[in-house]
Amino acid sequence: MSERPETEPGATAEQAPARAGRDMEERLPPSLWIRLLIYVVVGHLLAGFIYLLFEVGSKAQ
């Protein structure tokens, strides 16, 4: 037997979509992963640019 059966014992046909919805809530949609990746990359680029400005500014004095 598998650890996670597709239908639980005693489950009716009406409960099957509810289980599928619960599984969907446990996973993040791919579009959210892409947006998160873009925010992380852009955030690091912005932080690197600000760091570069401070480094160049400190050498100019």
| Cα 35 to Cα 25: distance, rounded to the nearest angstrom | 18
Tokens of 53: 């400005």
Tokens of 29: 């949609």
Q: What is the pLDDT of residues 7-50, one digit of tens each?
A: 556 656 566 666 666 666 788 899 999 999 999 999 999 999 99
pTM over 0.75: no
| Cα 6 to Cα 3: distance, rounded to the nearest angstrom | 10
Neighbours of 1 (CB within 10 A): 4
End-to-end CA distance of the chain: 72
Tokens of 8: 């639980």
